[in-house]
Structure 1
Amino acid sequence: MINQKKLEMAYKRYSNNFIDGIKFEGVRDKYNVSRKKIEKIVGQNETEKDHILLINLNKIFKYYLSLWKNDVLISGGNNTEGLKNMQKVTFYQCMGHDIYKIKYPEMILGYSFREIVLTLVHFSMYGWEKEENILYNFMIQHFGEHLIDANEENRHIWFLLELYLQYRNKTIMGTNKKLYLTVKNMFKEVEKRCGSIPEDLNIYDEVLERWSTGDLEEIEHLISLMSEYHSGLASEIGQLGEFGDFRYGFYPIEILFLIHVRKQFDLPVPAQIDNFLMNTPEAKLVFGEREPYPKLAPALEMIDQFYRKNYPEYIPNKHGDLFQ
């Protein structure tokens, strides 16, 4: 049973983190410093220092994270430009690290498995099929290697990935069912790190079995259980663990994606969901059938053009213009 008061207090801490803690103005100032470094390296075509561009993508990501929170969480609006640009940064982080996989094979990654899955899912929700397919191909090419460290502990991330695979009729390691167990077992056989991969997905296992049900009451019940699971963990905001972080703690993307996928198959979805989690500003975000690409992010575009110019093997060179 959810402790409602504890949940509400946790949400207040979640919101205040971007009001009294990580202030937008401070993040913006750091972003502007990074942008000047980027402009200098790109302007002088300093290829010996170009790994610094990849490092500075993290500052760009944090800027757009703060912008998204400021626009939606704090102001209560529905502007998703910041969210889209966050995911665009993750995409280019992947593309950049692919360049350095030989030159710097152990380079610390600027993204996580979680960020890649979340980006892939959002691209599919936005209708950005070209970029989605490029990212999916990058994932399957490097899955289980340094660039895609799949030793992921969060159950909802495995749920999102598996639902995505079933929705798109795609596979990883030859399967789109119980993927996390397949990965865990295969990693064990070749002695790869897999200790964080869960043994079960809790409520998400049941949802994956029944996500395509035509019974509205059944899917309402499953969403209620998902909300309860998410809310219980989000109540521990600030602690280590699933939904305990201030980035996505109260953003119910796994429920939003489930609803999105069901709509694509003309399956019934709840008209409204009456619980605290699903009535926060982030939960109320609505994505169109084909979302417009975000406005050009100058610093990000400079990095992309630099890599296109200096590295023929850079993946985007094979696909022409992107995010347009």
Structure 2
Amino acid sequence: MRASGAATSWVVGRTRISTTTRTTPPSRRSSTPASTVIWSTLKRLLAFLSQGFYVAHLFPQSLEVKKLVYLYLLHYAEETALVPDEGGITIFTNLAKSTNRLVAEEAAGGLWNLSVGEEHKAAIAAAGGIKALVDLIFCWPAGTDGVLERASGVLANLAADDKCSLEVAKAGGVHALVTLARSCKLEGVLEQAARALANLAAHGDNNNNNAAVCQEAGALEALVQLTCSQNEGVRQEAAGALWNLSFDDGNREVIAAAGGVEALVSLAQQCLNASEGLQERAAGALWGLSASESNR
């Protein structure tokens, strides 16, 4: 969080998401013959997946069975130590490119869980995960909430890292996230898109992502509109993004011209009984805009 008068930026964290309920995979520690066979088979299938091999032909011809097997493999990889050590991140990245929505959604969910904390972010970027997630946003319609929320959630987590944030911007992430902020109506997606934009703009002089967000057509106007959302999480993340962006002189003028001062004053008045996070971000954004004499 910002200290009083400090020019450092804050970065929003993300708790681990809960994936949809599935049958618990067999324990890899079980010594029963059946479990040993299952574990050995799954390990081999995951190894094939991590190398980019198509394994659906190994399953029965029923499409629904194939979907379930893929989802089972994803869940199993996610819940075991196999993920970082034996190509699990590559598996999720490859399956995020799937034309099957359920598979792509679960793969993005796996990457979202893995992107919590710092230990796997660089590996996700190195595996091509950032580009796959940006492409995923453009592949699915704005009404596809699960896959879009998870994809933007991963990008939000990765954008909190200096190096990964540059990769997100380079891969077209700013455009993808602003597109969601402008056109999507789903609150979960909007919250994650705004959080990602806030994190991209949080690195100050370390990179030029702050300017990149401002230069994206409609970005600041969309964030101002999101401060009027009925959802507190959306309002909080949008206000946080405006707070970070307000440290740039040019951004302050554009935010003000888009009605940002009035919107934030209204938000501050309405959030007296809201969470401390929302109050802090609304006040911080107004404080940032007040650096311009014309906004006082």
TM-score, L = length of structure 1 = 0.34
TM-score, L = length of structure 2 = 0.36
Larger helix fraction of residues: 2
